[in-house]
Structure 1
Amino acid sequence: MAQRVDDVLTGGLMVTPDDETDLAFPRGTTCSKAVYVDGAGDVAAVMADGTQLLFDNLAAGVFHRLSVVRIFSTGTTATGIKVLY
């Protein structure tokens, strides 16, 4: 089976959670395709459509298919957060 181009992760960012600032994606990228955490915990995020959600106890070492534009410091307990696009 051929892999779809939109399923490929081409880059990523280390995340410092911030209540006020959206993630700084490169030009042409508007949101993540996945979130990865080194240390399990909660992640409070703004989704690509503007919805604010709290994801309880995200497992470490897993690519979570989430399209986010911001990760809040308030409510986020997971560590080593990365977003991939």
Structure 2
Amino acid sequence: MADAFLYNTSGLESPASNAAAITPSDSVDLANVPRALYALTDGTVRVTMRGGGSPVTVQMIAGVPLPFRVTRVWATGTTATGIVGVW
């Protein structure tokens, strides 16, 4: 498959090249820090930001990207389902 952008440098504003389903966990950090999160259902998501600090809980709307770089999506406090991280 040809990729016209193969030799272009990817930035944070570039389209994602990878995606993975995220299983919220109160004890395990993500394998990759995503550039955004998506969810299949509306709900809350409790996350630890890449920069550190205390976890925060934010509202997610199904199909709308949440442009947060996070190291963990917590099970406690997360009601959104079908969460996917892209990077």
TM-score by length of 1: 0.83
Work out which of the two has the higher radius of gyration on C-alpha atoms and give 1 or 2: 2
| Structure 2 unmatched runs, 5+ | 1-8
Query: Paired residues, what number?
Result: 77
In structure 1, runs of 5+ residues without a counterpart are 26-30
Deviation at 1:8, TM superposition (A): 2.3
CA displacement at 1:72 relative to structure 2: 0.2
- Give me the CA root mean square deviation: 1.5
**Structure 1 residue identity aligned to 2:63:** G
Show the counterpart of 1:76: 78
Corresponding letter in the other structure for 1:58:
M
Tell me whether 59-68 or 36-45 shows the greater mean CA deviation.
Answer: 59-68
Distance 2:40 2:69 in 1: 18
Q: Which residue of structure 1 aligns with residue 10 of structure 2?
A: 5
Alignment of 1:5-84 (within 5 A): 5-6=10-11, 7-25=14-32, 31-51=33-53, 52-55=55-58, 57-84=59-86
Normalising by structure 2, we get a TM-score of: 0.81
Report SS of the residue matched to 1:39.
coil
Instruction: Kindly indicate which of the two structures has a greater share of residues assigned to strand.
Output: 1
SS in 2 for 1:43: strand
Which consecutive aligned stretches of 4+ in structure 1 deviate over 4 angstroms post-superposition? none
* Identity fraction in percent: 33
SS at match of 2:67: coil
In 1: Cα distance, 2:48 partner to 2:23 partner: 14
